[in-house]
Amino acid sequence: MSEASDFDAIVVGSGMSGGWAAKELCEAGLKVLVLERGSMVRHGKDYTTEHIPPWEIPLAGKKPRELYKKDYPVQSKVWAFNETTRHFFNNDRENPYVRDEEKPFNWHRANVVGGRSLLWSRQVYRFSDLDFEANKRDGHGADWPIRYSDIDPWYSYVESFIGVSGQKEGLPHLPDGEFQKPMPLSVIEREVKAAIEHEYPDRHLTIGRCAVQTEAKNGRGSCHYCGPCERGCSVAAVFSSVGVTLPAAERTGNMTLLADSVVEGLDYNEKTGKVNAVRVIDANSHARKRYTAKLIFLCASTVATTQILLNSKSEAFPNGLANSSGVLGHYLMDHAKGGGAVGMMPGHLDSYIFGHRPNGIYIPRFRNLQAEGGKEPGVDFLRGYGYQGKAMRLGWQHMHKQTRGFGKDFKHALRRPGPWMMFMGAFAEHLPDKNNRMFLDANEKDRFGIPQVCFDASYGENESRLQDDAEKQATNMLRVAGAVSIKSFNVKSTPGSSIHEMGTARMGKNPAKSVLNQWNRAHDVSNLFVTDGACMTSSSCVNPSLTYMALTARAVNYAVDLFKTGAL
């Protein structure tokens, strides 16, 4: 037991969750190794396309199609993927997974320090007890081992530090947080809000709650409204681990951050019942190394974390580490998106917008809020959905195709922006289902010799009904708001496309049916914590990153107590 460890703790992954684990562990005084499979991104210095003017954007924004088809067939489907951000993304050819074209799953990944915290849409919403009690209420999935009161103070702790702008609404199912001043709604959004709230007293429209500072705080700047946050934000108004949590960890002097370090698996010591080492492959030289620590935090992202666990086999755990329950890899979820509507809003052609607001509107869930057993009368689905949207004046990018002719009149017509358009699209909750899973391929390996990930996941009848309703209600709301030329949509999206993949190592009370306990600690392995999306027991319909961060801070606090009392 007196074996000297290389580090007190190892954090695998440097993104949304890993950054928080690193910061909290380092600030508690532990010596921490952070392992990141992607390449180094230094805050500011490596935001090579930040503020790039339009005339320097390659191909005037057109996609190099041959390259994308060859190297980025999956990543190029992401909204944030283009020639100004490609350097942050995974190369699908170099780092493949097994993609079943008959039943596809889109695994969207970054391949840099900071991970997807550099590329997210920055929307942050709290889960509520409507979410934490959902599985228990309707019997799908296992009951969460925590309730809102367990995580509430950690939400506040995280929000205050990352900097969240938003409007308090006093809704029990979308709890308010620690908000900086909200970004304003536009004239059209205010009109739509008034119309919806008048027609449907139980529905609300609020400005998005986003991890972009509107006040200079926390030693960081406030938003300068330049637009594309995903190119990097050197004033760190927008939250990313590269700009915020990793520098905080760095300041303690306790962090060692290694990029290009692919974790192959964890070594389990049967005598101690603990993980004692992490096996690492250098992404460039393919040299193998082994690092030991007393405490391990897996924060590699939902799929990558479970891939590591499944690939960590031992006599004690022949089906993957911490998998005595057999549920590791199962209950994979991703919000069903693709239901909504868009419409043109007449008038207000004399109103225009100064600045790019990196945020939209939010219409919180309004279905099944009070339902005993999960369904309100007249509703044919469980759970609910929330809309994200935006009003915008159509720019030349849209209008040139709708403006006939050419020459002086055409050119001068494009000097004015087009009419206002209002868009709303839903994220619907994905019921936890054991049949939705990821696993390792028996034969296919990646360039490091690590078995590739396979997926077998789909949306079910409930998600389909949620989307149908989301399409219908979006249309109704746009209609009452006075929209014209309303076009509803109901796209059957590929699982993974919402980039909210969750589950596969779920938390639960029962060690026979879950992987992690109420502190994100593996039931089977006392020094192993998983705090990224893999831990999620249900998916809610709100964007999940804030919950990963709060659970991470909470789990670290618990783990540090154990560490300091010698229990590890």
Partner 1 sequence: MQRRSLLKGLMMGGLGGVLHVTSPSLARALAADIGCSASIANTCFDESQRKMCAVLAELIIPTTDTPGAIEAGVPAFVEMMVSDWYTPAEREIFLEGMSALDRDCFDRYSNAFLELGEEQQIKALSHQEDLAATYQPPKDDTSFLIPKEDEHAPFFDKLKELVVIGYYHSEVGAKQELIYNPMPMEYREIPFVEVGRQWSS
Question: Which amino acid is residue 93, in one-letter code?
Answer: R
Member of 273, 355, 373, 449 binding partner 1 (CB under 8 A):
355
Which range binds partner 1 by CB under 8 A, 166-174, 271-279, 315-323, 408-416?
Answer: 408-416
Least Å distance between CB 209 and partner 1? 16
What residues from 65 to 94 belong to the interface with partner 1 (CB under 8 A)?
A: 65
Binding to partner 1 by residue 288, rule CB under 8 A?
Answer: no
Q: Indicate the residue among 7 and 427 with the shorter CB distance to partner 1.
A: 427
Question: Which amino acid is residue 518, in one-letter code?
Answer: Q
Binding to partner 1 by residue 416, rule CB under 8 A?
Answer: yes
What size, in residues, is the chain? 568
Q: Indicate the residue among 186 and 545 with the shorter CB distance to partner 1.
A: 186
Output the six-digit token pair for 223. Answer: 């938003």
- Residue 115, CA distances (Å) to 18, 19, 23, 111, 499 in order: 9, 10, 16, 6, 13
- Could you give the 3-state DSSP secondary structure of residue 534? helix
Q: How many Cα atoms sit within 13 Å of 391 on the Cβ side?
A: 27
Evaluate the CA torsion angle 369, 371, 374, 379 in order and state its sign.
Answer: negative
Residues 6+ apart with CB under 8 A from 418: 393, 394, 395, 398, 399, 402
Member of 401, 402, 442, 565 binding partner 1 (CB under 8 A):
401
Member of 4, 102, 415, 443 binding partner 1 (CB under 8 A):
415
> In this structure, what is the dihedral angle of CA atoms 391, 397, 402, 404, given to the nearest 10 degrees?
150
Binding to partner 1 by residue 179, rule CB under 8 A?
Answer: no
Member of 349, 480, 484, 567 binding partner 1 (CB under 8 A):
349
Q: Indicate the residue among 187 and 371 with the shorter CB distance to partner 1.
A: 187
Binding to partner 1 by residue 566, rule CB under 8 A?
Answer: no
Strand locations in 112-192 (E)? 164-165, 179-180
Binding to partner 1 by residue 413, rule CB under 8 A?
Answer: no
Which range binds partner 1 by CB under 8 A, 300-308, 396-404, 512-520, 550-558?
Answer: 396-404
Binding to partner 1 by residue 407, rule CB under 8 A?
Answer: yes
Binding to partner 1 by residue 186, rule CB under 8 A?
Answer: yes
- Could you give the 3-state DSSP secondary structure of residue 281? strand
Q: Indicate the residue among 142 and 342 with the shorter CB distance to partner 1.
A: 342
Phi, psi of 131 (to 5 degrees): -85, -45
Member of 184, 451, 460, 511 binding partner 1 (CB under 8 A):
184
Instruction: Classify the phi-psi angles of 273: left when phi > 0, otherwise alpha if psi is within -120 to 50, otherwise beta.
Output: left
Q: Indicate the residue among 172 and 410 with the shorter CB distance to partner 1.
A: 410
Which range binds partner 1 by CB under 8 A, 129-137, 439-447, 456-464, 484-492?
Answer: 484-492
Q: State the pairing for strand pair 32-35/7-12.
A: parallel
Binding to partner 1 by residue 347, rule CB under 8 A?
Answer: no
Least Å distance between CB 363 and partner 1? 18
Least Å distance between CB 161 and partner 1? 23
Q: Are 291 and 10 in contact (CB under 8 A)?
A: yes
* Integer Rg of the chain from CA: 23
d(CA 340, CA 486): 10
Q: Are 27 and 252 in contact (CB under 8 A)?
A: yes
- Residue 143, CA distances (Å) to 131, 136, 140, 514 in order: 10, 5, 9, 10
Number of residues that bind partner 1 (CB under 8 A): 52
Site map for partner 1, 39-68, x if CB under 8 A? Answer: ------------x-xxx-x-xxxxxxx---
Binding to partner 1 by residue 350, rule CB under 8 A?
Answer: yes
Least Å distance between CB 77 and partner 1? 9
Q: Indicate the residue among 271 and 401 with the shorter CB distance to partner 1.
A: 401
- Tell me which residues touch partner 1 (CB under 8 A): 51, 53-55, 57, 59-65, 183-184, 186-187, 223-227, 342, 349-357, 393, 395-397, 400-401, 404-408, 410-412, 414-417, 487, 489, 491
